[in-house]
Amino acid sequence: MPFYRLIKNLLPLLLLTACATVPAPPLDYHQGAVLDTLSSAVSLSIRAADSSMSGTGYLLFRRPDQIHLVVLSPFGTTMMEAFALGDRITLVYPSKSTAYVGRFDELPEKGGLQGWRLMRWVMDADTSGKKQQNGTVERMDKLGFSEKVTFENGVVTAKESSAGDQVHYSNYSVVNGVPVAAELNLRNDRGDRIRILLDEPEVNTPLEDAVFTPNLDGLTVVPLSVFKGL
């Protein structure tokens, strides 16, 4: 009977202990390793005050600012492709045989697309270079704007721009020696939210120029200023 009582009292304690959060071990990455290219299947969710969309697709990135994003329809066909280089963006809608070409600042105010102008800033998330670094620092970003960056064991877990844009990085794993966050949550100063989940990312594999160049053959090319939204 005392044994039964002991078990009875200990069991909840054991269960509680088992449920306690165990801190993840620090990532074993190569110090100084940087992400030059990334290609990954992605799951996307865009939520703005006036509209929202979600889907799956493919993301290709090459440092410092080349991005190619493919968004798929539920049946797997290509719904939209976005190509970004510097401050230029091309949106291709194969179903409309139309490409919209222009600058990021010409994207419509509504529809959550303004968040995409931050993609270069989001992708710029190198480690601090010190594996023990924890806490938040204020610094100038690569474009010369002020930002607050939070590190945990040397990897970036959050950033905030001086304009109030925020991005959180989580579910890190090490790919090819480089720490890669599998979940990115972006919230811009307008309150638009973009969530990107990466699946089986490939890091620093060579990517040909062609993958960042939109093929506009047979498409009607119009200025981005006439684009009405997603």
Residues forming contacts to other proteins in the complex (CB under 8 A) are 39, 41, 43-45, 47, 51-56, 58, 60, 70, 72, 74-78, 94-95, 97, 195, 197, 199, 202, 208, 210-211, 215, 218
C-beta of 102: minimal distance to other proteins in Å?
21
- Closer to other proteins by CB, 55 or 177: give it: 55
- Closer to other proteins by CB, 136 or 215: give it: 215
C-beta of 121: minimal distance to other proteins in Å?
23
C-beta of 41: minimal distance to other proteins in Å?
5
C-beta of 223: minimal distance to other proteins in Å?
22
C-beta of 183: minimal distance to other proteins in Å?
10
Distance of CA 190 to the CA centre of its chain: 18
What is the C-alpha to C-alpha distance for residues 74 and 142, in angstroms, rounded to an integer? 37
- Closer to other proteins by CB, 141 or 202: give it: 202
β partners of residue 167: 159, 186
What is the C-alpha to C-alpha distance for residues 153 and 128, in angstroms, rounded to an integer? 9
What is the C-alpha to C-alpha distance for residues 31 and 130, in angstroms, rounded to an integer? 7
What is the C-alpha to C-alpha distance for residues 206 and 173, in angstroms, rounded to an integer? 20
Do 182 and 201 contact (CB within 8 A), yes or no?
A: yes
The helix/strand/coil state of 61 is strand
Q: Centre a 10 Å sphere on the Cβ of residue 178 and count the other Cβ atoms it contains.
A: 20
Do 218 and 96 contact (CB within 8 A), yes or no?
A: no
- Closer to other proteins by CB, 96 or 142: give it: 96
- Closer to other proteins by CB, 97 or 162: give it: 97
